[in-house]
Amino acid sequence: MSADGSGRVCAEREQDRMEQASVMLKKGEGRTLKAGGAWVYDNEIASVEGPYRNGDVVNVYDFGGYYLGCGYINTCSRITVRLLSRKKGIVIDEAFMEGRVRDAWNYRKQTVDTSSCRVIFGEADFLPGIVVDKFSDVLVVESLALGIDRWKPVIVEAVKKVLAEDGIRIRGVYERSDSKVRLQEGMERSKGFIGEPFDTKVEIAENGVRYIVDVENGQKTGFFLDQKGNRAAIHSFCKGKKVLDCFTHTGSFALNAGIAGAESVLGVDASLLAVEQARENARLNHLEDRVRFQCADVFELLPELEKQGEKYDVVILDPPAFTKSRSSVKKAVKGYREINLRGIKLVRDGGFLASCSCSHFMEPELFAKTIREAAAGAHRRLRQVEFRTQSADHPILWAADQTYYLKFYIFQILNER
């Protein structure tokens, strides 16, 4: 482009920035944002000055006129503004998005095995509202906010470009923006191919275990990459043991126990589709003789196993989020307490319990208290082996509390001594 042309583009961007609407916060609001958070809630806003459409980038100022950053606005959502940058005068364009993607990928290359990983984790990668998972040579995209949805094609192309520079060719992209959260943003749920169709069953390998990931019909984006390190952590105490894996989904913890040399493993899930996929994964790893799966409600099965006098060397509890809002936390606590109580009772003296919560609203202290109460109800002692959280490709951005959600404990369960 000629010098004149370049100058014209810069002038247009400068004009766009000058015309951005301004969000003014109420007096005393914006504390979370100033501490490093990424969200502005509707009840924090005093006024919006200037023209805008939902999804546009706006500037955010505190009550005293101090610049806090820019982000996209959506008045249909309680989270009215999601911050993209704190730098004054920055231009949100294709180059900005590519820079964010490049930073995210460089971080992963330094911290995790990138054969299959989360490439972009929303707010933690300073791209609020979007998730991109890589399963071998396939990308799965989940877009949860209006503003970032507009940039989705740009972000997808940027991911493909950046990965190609490392010799990684992406053969297909699938969108799993079918969460109910989109309805709260005034958006329709969306699911389907971005670009040319492809076989949506993808084989991946993790911790020595092979899986078929169904990116079209599996939960969320098809597979829970956040538990990778936690699955590896159970290997050391599963060899030669009898293992019960509750809420097994497609069999990931159960298969890790099998690969680690468990004598027998029972994986349980209420979803018949998940159980069928788990059995397929067991056959893929030649573990079908030692790892079996049952379709059942865990809350109903655990008391039945107790009545039968069953005991296990290792019990794993990996339930779905029992709460997705603060209003239902009390009900969730009852669920977590119940499954931990039942699970603990099924562990032999000296055996192990792995217990986790993937709910952001089940705060670490409350989760620990709930397990402690369950152990007291079962008249057993807890000896903590390890506390872990989500894998490094799901980084926790301090002050952005929503990025910290997974809590994972390993305990040895002891009778009274």
Catalytic residue numbers read 358
As a whole number of angstroms, the distance between CA 145 and CA 129 comes to: 5
Neighbours of 75 (CB within 10 A): 14
Pick from 183, 255, 193: nearest CA to 223: 255
Residues 6+ apart with CB under 8 A from 286: none
Within 13 Å and on the Cβ side, how many CA atoms surround 259?
23
Pick from 284, 276, 373: nearest CA to 334: 373
Write the single-letter amino acid at 336. Answer: Y
What's the DSSP call for residue 26?
P
**DSSP secondary structure, 197-262, as one string:** ----EEEEEETTEEEEEETTTSSTTSS-GGGHHHHHHTGGGTTT-EEEEES-TTTHHHHHHHHTT-
**What's the alpha-carbon Rg for the chain, to the nearest Å?**
24
As a whole number of angstroms, the distance between CA 5 and CA 12 comes to: 11
Which of helix, strand or coil describes residue 44? helix
